[in-house]
Amino acid sequence: MHNVSIYTTPTCFYCKKTKEFFGANNVSYTERDVTTDEAARNDMIAKTGQLAVPVIDVDGKIIIGFDQAALKSALEIS
């Protein structure tokens, strides 16, 4: 079991695609909406130095954007 968090905004197309990918692959995750959660926004900026979403944290490995190959690798999905 991996510790997965995704930093999102409600209107982000790639955030939605990432969450669909998680659902299709039975990945449990914590969603953090950076538009309403200032602590999440500050945490995301501290980890990445930027405001772009989605930012995915898999066991401390940061993936920026919807990158299926990187997600599969980090989550050990074949």
Angle, alpha carbons 35-71-66 (nearest 5°): 45
CATH number at residue 58: 3.40.30.10
pLDDT band at 52 (very low <50, low <70, confident <90, very high): very high
Burial class (CB in 10 A: 0-12, 13-18, 19+), 7: buried
Q: Yes or no: say if 51 and 45 are a contact pair by the CB < 8 Å rule.
A: yes
Q: For residue 61, what is the enclosing H or E element?
A: strand 61-64
Domain count, the chain: 1
Q: How high is the pLDDT of residue 66?
A: 97
Give 1-43 pLDDT, tens digit per residue: 899 999 999 999 999 999 999 999 999 999 999 999 999 999 9
Residue 68 has pLDDT above 90, yes or no: yes
Quote the radius of gyration of the chain (alpha carbons, Å): 11
Q: And the tokens for 3?
A: 């510790």
Model pTM? 0.94
Structural domain boundaries enclosing 57:
4-75
Residue 45 has pLDDT above 90, yes or no: yes
